Structure 1
């Protein structure tokens, strides 16, 4: 799968584009997650959606790219698969649910990246329910690795979280995890 182009978002008069990333909703989109994503220009769901109504609700806020998690079925249509590649405001993303699948994709062991495709700037996954944003050597070959944690079932002593990235001129200007209140 090559990169989809969401660059039309950068054609508006935005100085920057705000991308929200969430994962592991497991059939419930908490009000606090919905409210936190309301200011996003684009939303990425990194799997374990567990209900098409979740994606429909997120799409009332912004365009959505989503991937299948290990608890999802192909009920979301052809646009939702195991991997997603999207380019937003000049920043390329590769998204999958499991971190092992992400590592395999980056090693060229899947069809997620075709020969000649650029290495994504940002890689994102879900599944662990433990939020993290990794930069530098630990994120290589990408420049940023994001796991938004889980909005419904956090693990490892974490709170429910989403990730938010600010993109501008083809660069990730900031990446942060946002703790949510429990609904």
Structure 2
């Protein structure tokens, strides 16, 4: 059994409340738009990390991580990508990756909109954790936490914080 923390679109921010939300997680997955290398360096020292770069991330971050990642946790194959879309409206690149790799879980970011959707067409769970950082049009900062046991995702929890600019 592995507890996973999922976030995206930090844009250089990592609210202190997220440390508490993720403190019992075994791994953290970040779906891109880190915003700066410092946020990445801080998070990779906190917990084991799976991450991809997003469209706002510069070369400094792009040399540290891939544009997309395919990996297995317990018995579930995961696709992690920044710009992925949604069931029925996947990006062309994401759709190719889904057809090629047949993931059980797909995690993306970019939209700043929290969504968890069962994709019946491809038999996968789609997770978009929304945006954890302060920059963007969203009104709340959000992230996800869940447990993977064997071939099952369970105990999904949502973290929310009002977005307040400094």
Over the aligned positions, Cα root-mean-square deviation in angstroms equals 2.4
Residue 125 of structure 1, CA deviation? 0.7
Question: Which residue in 2 is equivalent to 1:163?
Answer: 144
Deviates more, 1:91-100 or 1:168-177: 168-177
Number of paired residues? 160
Residue 127 of structure 1, aligned match among 102, 110, 114:
110
Residue deviations 1:102-149 (CA, integer Å, cap 9, x gap): 5424532xxx4685x3x1111011111111111253xx4142101101
Contact preservation (8 Å) 1:43, 1:62:
yes
Larger % of strand: which? Answer: 2
1:96 aligned to 2:66? no
The gaps in structure 1 that reach 5 residues or longer are 1-15
SS of residue matched to 1:172: strand
Question: Which residue in 2 is equivalent to 1:11?
Answer: none
The gaps in structure 2 that reach 5 residues or longer are none
Tell me: CA distance 1:60–1:102, structure 2 relative to 1, closer, same or farther (3 Å).
farther
SS of residue matched to 1:25: coil
Residue 33 of structure 1, CA deviation? 1.6
In the alignment, the residues of structure 1 paired with residue 123 and residue 107 of structure 2 have an alpha-carbon distance, to the nearest angstrom, of 10
TM-score computed with the length of structure 1 as normaliser: 0.76
In the alignment, the residues of structure 1 paired with residue 129 and residue 64 of structure 2 have an alpha-carbon distance, to the nearest angstrom, of 21
TM-score computed with the length of structure 2 as normaliser: 0.83
Contact preservation (8 Å) 2:129, 2:144:
yes
Residue 182 of structure 1, CA deviation? 5.4
Question: Which residue in 1 is equivalent to 2:30?
Answer: 45
Contact preservation (8 Å) 2:53, 2:62:
no
In the alignment, the residues of structure 2 paired with residue 181 and residue 61 of structure 1 have an alpha-carbon distance, to the nearest angstrom, of 24
Residue 84 of structure 1, aligned match among 62, 66, 69:
69
